[in-house]
A = this chain, B = another copy of it.
Amino acid sequence: MNIYFAGSIRGGREDAALYFQIVSSLARYGTVLTEHVGDSELSINGDELSDREIHDRDLQWLRSCDCLVAEVTKPSLGVGFEIGKATEWGKQVLCLYRPSDSRLLSAMIGGNDRVTVERYRSVDEVDAIFARHLSR
């Protein structure tokens, strides 16, 4: 199975360590096309490709994936964009969300019947979430 993992890059890298752990867990279910999203060396500036090259590469990966897994706690234009495309293309979409009082999940995600949203509090819970939703 090819898995596209989406997390915030230019929206902010506060959750990069968490993304790394999620990618490690996802790797048990298939090939994670976007492993670099969990790379702590990847800064807000992203990688060294041009914006056009990043856009074209990522959309090609998204088209070829079987499943999009997105961490949606940190608001991100790119993650939202990818969820919009993936739902349009009929992909399985699984969103991971850490609820907080100050932060509410977008209705475009929470009210979308093409998206499965799983709430969690710690990364220890993601293995069980993946076991429920992803086939090995």
Contact = CB atoms under 8 A, between A and B. Distances in A.
Interface of A: 8-12, 44-46, 50-56, 58, 72, 74-85, 88, 103-113
Nearest to A110: B51
Contacts of A77: 72, 75-77, 79-80, 83, 105-106, 108-109
Most buried by B among A56, A107, A111: A107
B10 A103 contact: yes
Given A9-B106, A10-B75, A78-B107, 18 more contacts: A8-B75, A10-B104, A11-B106, A44-B104, A45-B104, A46-B107, A51-B111, A52-B111, A54-B111, A55-B112, A56-B111, A77-B79, A77-B105, A79-B80, A80-B82, A81-B81, A83-B84, A84-B88
A83 B113 CA distance: 19
Nearest to A104: B10
